[in-house]
Structures are given as structure tokens and as C-alpha cells.
Amino acid sequence: MSELIDNILSTDLMKMICKDLSKEEAEDLISWMEDNIEPIDIIRKSIKDLSSTDDGFNKLNEAFEYVFSEEGIEEWRGKN
């Protein structure tokens, strides 16, 4: 299980929700979180790793600038 999922499950709200779940419901919740939240954690870790060096930070910065540029927005619109 990812660090992000562990952090989410350790919040007071999730503890309160999980205490009322059956074993099967808790397993289903964990499975759903692994399928849907773990990819976000992988992206978070990748961004963190990329931004740890000057070269990686510059590449990441260029990618963000492109995504939010007119050209990047038009490209996204063309694909959707």
C-alpha cells in the first residue's frame, strides 16, 4: 500500500468511516484506493524525484509551461 493511502487511512475521518465497515467492505475500500489513489501517489513521487535536481526541475517546469500554454491547451482540446 502506498504512503498516500496510509496517510488517508490514518485520518480521523477515515478511521471513523472504517470502524463501521464490514471486513469485506474494508477490503473493497482498500482495493478501490489501490486502483484509484495509488496512481496519483506514483505521479506525486515522480514529480518529487524530478524536481530534486536542477535538470529535472527545468524539464518539469518546461512541461508545465507547455501544458498551460495556448499550444498545449489546443493540443489537449484536439485529443478530446
The whole-number pLDDT of residue 19 equals: 94
The answer to whether 34 and 8 have CB atoms below 8 angstroms apart is no
Alpha-carbon distances of 2 from 6, 10, 23, rounded to whole Å: 6, 12, 20
pLDDT of residue 79: 75
Phi first, then psi, for residue 60 (nearest 5°) are: -65, -45
pLDDT per residue of the chain (80 residues) written in tens, 0 to 9: 788 999 999 999 999 999 999 999 999 999 999 999 999 988 888 888 888 999 988 988 898 899 899 998 888 888 76
Q: Are 37 and 4 in contact (CB under 8 A)?
A: yes
| Structure confidence at residue 51 (pLDDT) | 86
pLDDT at 60: 87
Using an 8 Å Cβ cutoff, are 50 and 56 in contact? yes
